[in-house]
Amino acid sequence: MSVQVMLEATGVEVAFPVGTSLGARLRHQQHMLHAVDGVDLAVRKGEALALVGESGSGKSTLARAIVGIQRTSHGQIELDGKVLPARRPSADRRRIQMVFQDPYSSLNPRLTVGGILRELLRVHHVVPRHEVDSHARELLRMVGLGEDAAGALPRQFSGGQRQRVAIARAIALRPELLVADEPVSALDVSVQATILNLLQELRAELGLTLLFISHNLAVVRHLCDRVAVMYMGRIIEVAPTEELFRDPRHPYTAGLLAAIPRMTTRDEGEAPAVRGDPPSPLRLPTGCRFRSRCPLAQPVCAEQDPALVTSRADPEHSAACHFAWTAETASAPEPV
Amino acid sequence: MSGPAQLEVSDLRVQITAQHGVVRPIDGVSLEIGAGEAVGLVGESGSGKSLTLKSILGLLPPEAKVTSGRVVFNGTDLTQLSRSRLNKVRGAKIAMIFQEPMSALNPVMRVGNQIAEGPRIHLGMSRAQSVRRAVDLMRRVGIPDPERRFRAFPHEFSGGMRQRVMIAMALSCDPELILCDEPTTALDVTIQDQILRLLAELCRESGTSLMFVTHDLPVVAQVCHQVAVMYAGRIVERGTVAEVFSRPLHPYTLGLLRSAPDVDRPGQSLVPIPGSPPSLASPPPGCRFHPRCKFAEEDCKATEPPLRLVDVSRVTACLHYERCLDEIGADT
């Protein structure tokens, strides 16, 4: 696969005001919650990149910022080397489409499935007017729904079928990048498989680039080429999927992997993989954000916020931990 | 199985009368738990696993009724008990942990008092004794600074901490059996890991039996020795976790295992189960899985296959279970 960056996020920040009482606002004491706090991320053409992390890590907010439905407070997002403006022209919006987690609330309940697709095709002039109807049916066929699905309302479908409709809607505009935010989390296991297989087929068929947001690492390992791990608004490790599973360099990634329930019974009395709760995003620890739960934490972790550093041996692998590459740099210690 | 059954559910049937007719979400479920055992009950949404759990303690919604079957706990049929007699079992002998701790906890009562309430009512403790016990329990389940956190309200706790409170409440009267309804589904994976380890450890220490309902097969492997698989209101297979997950004897179990990606088997192709679960208002005749089953024969449509013992501690409701084994054999 050629390494051609398609979408590049640089220094992206998204902050939400909290404590919105009038008094607080008048006294300028409004706190900002930094859901995404300085993220650099490159999505390569044709790849499936996973964005993983726990709730509150900022993965969905980052995804929404990339799609353009969430204003960023800082940073920029480039698509094919062109910076996307805050108000995106519709031609740019078309190129990045999204599938949401909940197929029950993300489809218009008053429109038939065919109506949802036809509206989209007409507004964006995807195909000539007289072909709109046949193209909508073609899309439904592509996602594995019968053509007669066009006349039905979303509520007549099961969760898995609705997610197929949501995918049909997303690919209707022939996007280059498909952002899927936990698309299978609300589905039963046997239905999950059909959606994951569909995403894989569509990738092959349409050459889609996929940004896949998930907390389920088994699904990620199955579907994605590379993984970016988020913790408290930051990306703390990026690596090719198998490399990440084989040799995680950030202690949080290692803990996350160890915490995955396995199909085999485990040893009794073993300590949990990661201790404690995540910190409040309003009161982050100084220095490294993970240090309050980190088994390796040292004094330096409280003083310095580790940057995302790329391995010298492997340019594909980066981690934001002071000790991620200590073995590599032992001969020539970096100024930490 | 260790010792005689502590809880024995036999041929349980539950019926819900809805506007459009009668639905039977549980249709002949039998299972047993020995003292100190941990049994997982797995299945997809609508299989009746949660309802089975709730009917054990008589917690069914008003429109649902147990129409037949027995739930025998230490020799007493719980379905025949009066409300007040049942209340002496609930919480004291059999405790329950729910999926969403925020909606299961009282939002306007301090968490410590919620934990202390059980021992006061069921064990006849004084106020001071029960408070001491609650603080001890909070420490045991890993809530930091329990003396101070005693006075906190549920909304001041994170999801994982709330689930720890639920566990402390469940343990508060030294129950013999704890029923868990998807206790970690709403939690993050690192917190889920903490809670599962805590539950398994506490039950092992105190010899409490566990019945654990979940849709997540790997979660069962972390906590349970035995597992029962439910499909459309019936149990289709039972056995030890290691056996059932490595040599499933029912095509539905095989389908579940094949459709979920296993983190330790990258590159494995996912095979979804074709079709969708049947309507419980008019389930198919014979084996309920036959319309989706690739091994189905004529006899599957005609006869309702009973659960039968086919191997040492292996129970299946499939007439042609050998084909599952052939299929696994062909794969490896």
Give A245→chain B minimum CA distance, Å: 9
- B264 shares a domain with B198: yes
Question: How do residues A133-157 score in pLDDT, each as one tens digit?
Answer: 999 999 999 998 988 889 999 999 8
In which element (H, E) is residue B216 found?
none
pLDDT, residue B331, reads 66
- B278 shares a domain with B155: no
Q: How many domains does chain B have?
A: 2
pLDDT > 50? residue A335: no
Q: Do residues A213 and A202 make contact, with C-beta atoms less than 8 angstroms apart?
A: no
Instruction: Supply the range of the domain harboring residue B304.
Output: 5-93+173-331
Question: How do residues A88-102 score in pLDDT, each as one tens digit?
Answer: 998 899 999 999 988
Cα–Cα distance measured from residue B232 to residue B254, given in angstroms and rounded to the nearest whole number: 16
Which chain A residue is nearest to residue B223, measuring alpha carbons? A265
Q: Do residues A238 and A50 make contact, with C-beta atoms less than 8 angstroms apart?
A: no
CB-closest option in B193, B201, B268 to A259: B193
- The chain B residues in contact with chain A (CB within 8 A) are 44-45, 158, 160-161, 188-194, 196-197, 200-201, 204, 215-219, 221-222, 225, 241-242, 245, 255-256, 258-264, 266-268, 270-273, 276
- B212 shares a domain with B164: no
Q: What is the mean pLDDT of chain B?
A: 91
Mean pLDDT for B219-227 is 93
pLDDT, residue A20, reads 66
- B68 shares a domain with B119: no
Of B54, B75, B50, which Cα lies nearest the Cα of B66? B54
Residue B259 binned pLDDT confidence (cut-offs 50, 70, 90): very high
CB spacing of A245 vs B266 below 8 angstroms: yes
- B199 shares a domain with B153: no
Question: How do residues A245-302 score in pLDDT, each as one tens digit?
Answer: 999 999 999 999 999 999 887 666 678 889 888 888 888 899 999 999 999 999 999 9
Q: Which of B121, B140, B172 is the last residue of a domain?
A: B172
- B313 shares a domain with B202: yes
CB spacing of B256 vs A55 below 8 angstroms: no
- B319 shares a domain with B223: yes
Q: Which of B172, B201, B232 is the last residue of a domain?
A: B172
pLDDT > 50? residue B323: yes
Residue B332 binned pLDDT confidence (cut-offs 50, 70, 90): low
Q: Which of B172, B187, B211 is the last residue of a domain?
A: B172
Q: Which pair of structure tokens corresponds to residue A231? A: 């913790």
Residues of B in contact with A230 (CB under 8 A): none
Annotate B234-297 with DSSP letters as a single string: EEEEEEEHHHHHHS--SHHHHHHHHHSPPTTSTTPPP-PPSS-PPPSSSPPSSSTTGGG-TT--
Which comes out higher in pLDDT, residue B115 or A148? B115
pLDDT > 60? residue A331: no
- B196 shares a domain with B117: no
- B293 shares a domain with B211: yes
Question: How do residues A312-330 score in pLDDT, each as one tens digit?
Answer: 999 999 999 999 998 665 5
CB-closest option in A221, A222, A266 to B222: A266
CB-closest option in A258, A262, A268 to B218: A262
Based on C-alpha coordinates, what's the Rg of chain A? 22
Which chain A residue is nearest to residue B224, measuring alpha carbons? A265
pLDDT > 80? residue B141: yes
Question: How do residues A197-239 score in pLDDT, each as one tens digit?
Answer: 999 999 999 999 999 999 999 999 999 999 999 999 999 999 9
pLDDT, residue A328, reads 66
CB spacing of A219 vs B191 below 8 angstroms: no
- B222 shares a domain with B166: no
Q: What is the mean pLDDT of chain A?
A: 90
- B160 shares a domain with B191: no
The CATH number covering residue B11 comes to: 3.40.50.300
pTM of the model: 0.89
Cα–Cα distance measured from residue B86 to residue B169, given in angstroms and rounded to the nearest whole number: 18
- B157 shares a domain with B203: no
Based on C-alpha coordinates, what's the Rg of chain B? 21
pLDDT > 60? residue B110: yes
Question: How do residues A45-75 score in pLDDT, each as one tens digit?
Answer: 999 999 999 888 999 999 999 999 999 999 9
| Residue B6: strand, helix, or coil | strand
ipTM, interface predicted TM-score of the complex: 0.85
Looking at chain B, the whole-number percentage of residues with pLDDT higher than 70 is: 98
